[in-house]
């Protein structure tokens, strides 16, 4: 690794020093294309974020793709009903690696105001791995931009080799997540234990 101070000093002299990892992560984080996919009122804020006032294009994420095959990131923008949940997981499975998920708003992270509804999934993180959770009902565009920058920082910090390497560089990491089945009374299974272990209960 090159010393950070030395790197800046060399930069002043017109010498650019970097690592493959840095370059690779810079490329990944600078063009995250979201999937064009809205679920509820949070989607309106998501749309506002892409418009001129907030301008998500500054972060390289202006191109909303209508196909999961061309998207890098899924913004779960709204309430996930139990009727919709299998489709959300299926769409996530159809996205190509590397892929990221932002759970936007109270509903997407926990069920929110509809938590006690029979038809509402209590957080999409029960079935797919979520990278960034944003609270809010709905979160303001600034919050979504903040989530986006958090995701970029997360990507920047990833090492390409070793234990914590991203999923797409790990041959043993799960590439597909089981799609829940709509049963007679509820979704089956109720959660995916690999991504969402049951939280400990403090008695």
Partner 1 sequence: MKSVEEIKAAIEAAVPGAGVEIQVNPSVSGQHSLRLAPSHAVQVATFLRDDPEMALDFLSNATGVDWPDKEIAEKVKVTRTVTKTVDGVEQSVEETVEETKKRVAPGCLEAVYHLFSMTKGHGPVVIRMKTVNRTDQVELPSLTPVWRSAEFQEREIFDLFGIVFKGHPDLRRLLMWDEFKDHPMRRDYVEPDDFEYEPTAHDEVLKRALEDRAALAAAEAGATVAAGAAAGAEGAGAR
Binding-site ranges for partner 1 (CB under 8 A): 82-83, 111, 115-116, 118-119, 122, 182-186, 190, 198-203
State the distance between the two ends of the chain, measured CA to CA, in whole angstroms: 48
In the complex, minimum distance from the CB of residue 182 to partner 1, in angstroms, rounded to a whole number: 4
Cβ distance to partner 1 smaller for residue 75 or 187: 187
Q: State in angstroms the smallest separation of the CB of 156 from partner 1.
A: 31
What's the min distance (Å) between Cβ of 84 and partner 1? 10
Q: At closest approach, how far in Å is the CB of 190 from partner 1? A: 5
Are 111 and 120 in contact by the 8 Å Cβ rule? The answer is yes
| Least distance to partner 1, CB of residue 126, Å | 9
Q: Which is nearer to partner 1, 67 or 87 (CB)?
A: 87
């Amino acid at each position: 690794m090159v010393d950070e101070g030395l790197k800046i000093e060399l930069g002043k002299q017109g010498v650019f020093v970097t690592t493959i990892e840095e370059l690779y992560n810079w490329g990944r984080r600078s063009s995250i294309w979201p999937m064009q996919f809205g679920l509820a009122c949070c989607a309106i804020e998501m749309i506002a974020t892409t418009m001129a006032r907030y301008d998500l294009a500054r972060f390289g994420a202006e191109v909303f793709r209508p196909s999961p095959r061309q998207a890098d990131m899924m913004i779960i923008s709204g309430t996930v009903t139990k009727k919709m949940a299998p489709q959300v997981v299926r769409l996530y499975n159809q996205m190509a690696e590397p892929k990221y998920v932002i759970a936007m708003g109270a509903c997407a992270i926990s069920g929110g105001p509809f938590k006690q509804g029979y038809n509402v999934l209590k957080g999409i993180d029960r079935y797919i791995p979520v990278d960034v959770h944003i609270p809010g009902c709905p979160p303001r565009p600034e919050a979504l931009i903040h989530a986006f920058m958090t995701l970029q920082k997360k990507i920047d910090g990833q090492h390409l080799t070793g234990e914590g390497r991203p999923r797409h560089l790990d041959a043993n990491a799960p590439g597909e997540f089981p799609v829940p089945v709509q049963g007679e009374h509820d979704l089956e299974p109720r959660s995916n234990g690999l991504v969402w272990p049951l939280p400990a209960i403090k008695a």
